[in-house]
Structure 1
Amino acid sequence: MNIDIKHCLSVVSMALLLGGCSTAPPGPRGSAGFDSATLPSRLSQAQADDITIYALGLVGTPYRYGGNTPDAGFDCSGLIGHVYRSRAGVTPPRTVASLKSWGWQVRSDGIRSGDLVLFARNSVVSHAGIYVGAGRFVHAPSTGGVVRLDDLNSSYWATQQLAFRRP
């Protein structure tokens, strides 16, 4: 009888061990295991909303390479830097390439207004804007242009690789 109990215990133990080994680990939720809705941020929701409203108010400001003020005009990273500094007291990196690793990555289904939108071709980030909700973003697009509001699903932007970052 002792043999049967030992045998049963070893079979149960083995089953538990094998079951534990075959169990898949929980999948990622957002970036670095965070749910996008509760992702850490330097910004409160009120600051993110203020960033959104302020960025929308800059639509029409002239583009200027290297520009980082409303009076002088903006390039894309200059616009982002000005908006975040003036509305949230947060200073993002000055170059688009550096924005790629600033803050936390956010899945597309978890973005909120005030998050950054990064655009890339062949995995090289070349442009950035500020997400303002409803699939739209504010950005300073190119020489001769002005800061404008665009749709992520427009024919041009939909062909770009997208990444979203939350400061």
Structure 2
Amino acid sequence: MGTGSAFADSTLDTVVNSVIGTPYKYGGVTTAGFDCSGFTRYVFQKFGVDLARVSTAQYKQGTPVAKSQLREGDLVFFNTSGSGISHVGIYVGDGKFAHASSSKGINIDNLDNSYYKTRYVGAKRILSNWGYSTFAAES
């Protein structure tokens, strides 16, 4: 693990770090601005993985993962609107996830943050074991 950072030197870390601070843009799918699912889709496209465009559809992909079994690259889902899945991020390790915050743009938050902790719905593993070892495991 890198000193002073939640990241090690993996492809996932490199891709996420390259867009930290990118502004939030509703419907955004490029480095000019991302919404939450646009961000996750952008990152996974770098690994050759095609994710659905919206968070509710992304939640239907992959394999369910218990919160206690999260590993880097898993998608984490939240109910921020009061009506089902409405937010998605990427688990980056150490209890943290990267996401497109409507107020801060692409940033890292803690899953135990009081806002996200109460709105957490579940997680999905998208990357295969090969994909994890190739793109997300610490080098």
TM-score range, shorter chain: 0.7 to 0.9
Match of 2:36 in 1: 76
Shift of 1:145: 3.0
Shift of 1:156: 0.9
Map Cα deviations across residues 108-153 of structure 1 (whole Å, 9 max, x no partner).
12110011000126560010000000010000011x5311100010
Of residues 130, 135, 143 in structure 1, which corresponds to 2:95? 135
Q: TM-score if structure 1 supplies the norm length? A: 0.65
The amino acid of 1:102's aligned partner reads Q
Asked if the contact 2:27–2:38 (Cα under 8 Å) also holds between the matched residues in 1, the reply is yes
Asked if the contact 1:52–1:130 (Cα under 8 Å) also holds between the matched residues in 2, the reply is no
Asked if the contact 1:56–1:149 (Cα under 8 Å) also holds between the matched residues in 2, the reply is no
Shift of 1:162: 2.7
Asked if the contact 2:85–2:121 (Cα under 8 Å) also holds between the matched residues in 1, the reply is no
The amino acid of 2:34's aligned partner reads F
Measure the CA separation in 1 of the matches of 2:18 and 2:111.
19
Pair 1:123–1:110, CA change in 2 (3 A): farther
Measure the CA separation in 2 of the matches of 1:105 and 1:152.
17
Match of 2:7 in 1: none
Give the length in aligned residue pairs.
116
Shift of 1:100: 1.3
Measure the CA separation in 2 of the matches of 1:161 and 1:151.
11
Match of 2:64 in 1: 105
Measure the CA separation in 2 of the matches of 1:146 and 1:164.
21
Which is bigger in relative contact order (C-alpha 8 A, separation at least 6)?
2
Asked if the contact 1:115–1:166 (Cα under 8 Å) also holds between the matched residues in 2, the reply is yes
Shift of 1:52: 3.5
The amino acid of 1:152's aligned partner reads L
- 5+ residue gaps in structure 1? 1-48
User: What fraction of aligned residue pairs are identical, expressed as a percent?
Assistant: 40
Asked if the contact 1:77–1:96 (Cα under 8 Å) also holds between the matched residues in 2, the reply is yes
Measure the CA separation in 1 of the matches of 2:67 and 2:104.
27
Match of 2:27 in 1: 66
Q: TM-score if structure 2 supplies the norm length? A: 0.77
Measure the CA separation in 1 of the matches of 2:83 and 2:120.
7
- Flag the structure with larger Rg: 1
The amino acid of 2:75's aligned partner reads L
- Is the helix fraction higher in 1 or 2? 1
Measure the CA separation in 2 of the matches of 1:115 and 1:151.
14
